[in-house]
Amino acid sequence: MGEKLSSQKIFEEIQKKLGVLEDREEYIRSSIIPRMDKRRGRENPLRQSSVLLRMQSTPSSGKQGEEYEMMEEMVMANDGVTPGFAAEIADEIYYCLQRNAPAETLSGLSFFLEGILGIEMETAYAFCIFKYETRLVCGNLLVHKEVELTVLDSFLSTRPDLQTLWENPTS
């Protein structure tokens, strides 16, 4: 137990788990979300209005929603998936799989990711698992976001197919 926690060790442990997960969506719903709720002291699932607020708040609201954050990261990613973009996709998945999320949020995200960008939902679920399993391990650290991005970067390094997905007209 005295082993130093490293982002590479976290990545390797999650990668092992990911390899045996047949249903990543169910794992997020039944394991990650309840453990995150417990970590956050949440006794009840988020209400539909709270899920939608977290996803769709406009930038002028003070805390912009995950959809806007994902779009910003997509633009900065240029034409492939960066750790920041993967982290925002992970957040979208996390909120789309909340018990009270409207069904159309997941189907809309699926259409956007698979139909427009070419990112399979299984991969999007993997982003969510990597980000939130890392958060569960080291969320109390001041640098937890940096560790999450490093773990996602490790995963992305195993997926060269995600480096160039769409043609950016500004390139």
pTM: 0.88
Distances (CA, A) of 108 to 77, 113, 114: 21, 9, 10
Contact call for residues 94 and 45 (beta carbons, < 8 A): no
SS (H, E, C) the chain: CCCCCCHHHHHHHHHHHHHHCCCHHHHHHHHHHHHHHHHCCCCCCCCHHHHHHHHHCCHHHCCCCHHHHHHHHHHHHCCCCCHHHHHHHHHHHHHHCCCCCCHHHHHHHHHHHHHHHCCCHHHHHHHHHHHHHHHHHHCCCCCHHHHHHHHHHHHHCCCHHHCCCCCCCCC
Mean of per-residue pLDDT scores for the chain: 88
- Reported as a single tens digit per residue, the pLDDT across 87-99 is 999 999 999 999 9
Domain ranges of the chain: 25-159
- Reported as a single tens digit per residue, the pLDDT across 121-158 is 999 999 999 999 999 999 888 888 999 999 999 999 99
